[in-house]
Amino acid sequence: MGIGGIWQWVVVLVIVLVLFGGRGKISQLMGDFGKGLKSFKKGVKEDGPEPVEAKNTPRSVQASSEAHPEKSDS
């Protein structure tokens, strides 16, 4: 199958022109959607998660044998 025939490209071009071209409501809607998406990505970059610093407080570690003592069968 390759890239596609001429008719497939014509259909894709028509769809793109309908969605983004002209002065219709759909082109305006898609343009606003693109601007909103760009603004959202910019906001996510600026307000990204801050690095979490490790606390220097030591934890008490219990061995699994201390936490769950084995039961004897006798």
> For residue 38, which amino acid is it?
K
The pTM is what? 0.36
Q: Which pLDDT score is estimated for 52?
A: 64
Average pLDDT of span 47-70 = 61
DSSP label at 22? T
57 has a pLDDT exceeding 80: no
On average, the pLDDT of the chain sits at 75
Phi-psi region of 28 (alpha: psi -120 to 50; beta: other; left: phi over 0): alpha
36 has a pLDDT exceeding 90: yes
> Comparing 6 with 20, which gets the higher pLDDT?
6
